[in-house]
Amino acid sequence: MRDIVSHVQTLYGIELSPASVSNITDKIMEEAREWYSRTLDGFYPVVFLDAVHYKSP
């Protein structure tokens, strides 16, 4: 919990107690478990673009 408290403080400037983090995670864990165990679609369209730019001397 202390890692989460530290990260939230660093990223957002919000001070949370370990008890607050525990209460929040307790409330979202069931939804997170459902999301992690969901069935994935068989096909995901993806576009990947890559480029390297060189400047002429």
User: Is residue 37 scored above 80 in pLDDT?
Assistant: yes
Residue 33 amino acid letter: R
pLDDT tier for residue 7 given thresholds of 50, 70 and 90: very high
Residue 22 CA to residue 5 CA, distance in Å, equals 10
11 domain residue, yes or no: yes
55 domain residue, yes or no: no
pTM over 0.75: no
Q: What is the pLDDT of residue 57?
A: 78
Split into its structural domains, the chain has a count of 1
Residue 24 CA to residue 5 CA, distance in Å, equals 12
Q: Can you read off the two tokens belonging to residue 52?
A: 């390297």
pLDDT tier for residue 42 given thresholds of 50, 70 and 90: confident
17 domain residue, yes or no: yes
Backbone angles phi, psi at 43, to 5 degrees: -140, 130
Q: Can you read off the two tokens belonging to residue 30?
A: 């069931």
Q: What is the pLDDT of residue 21?
A: 93
Segments forming the whole domain that contains residue 17: 2-36
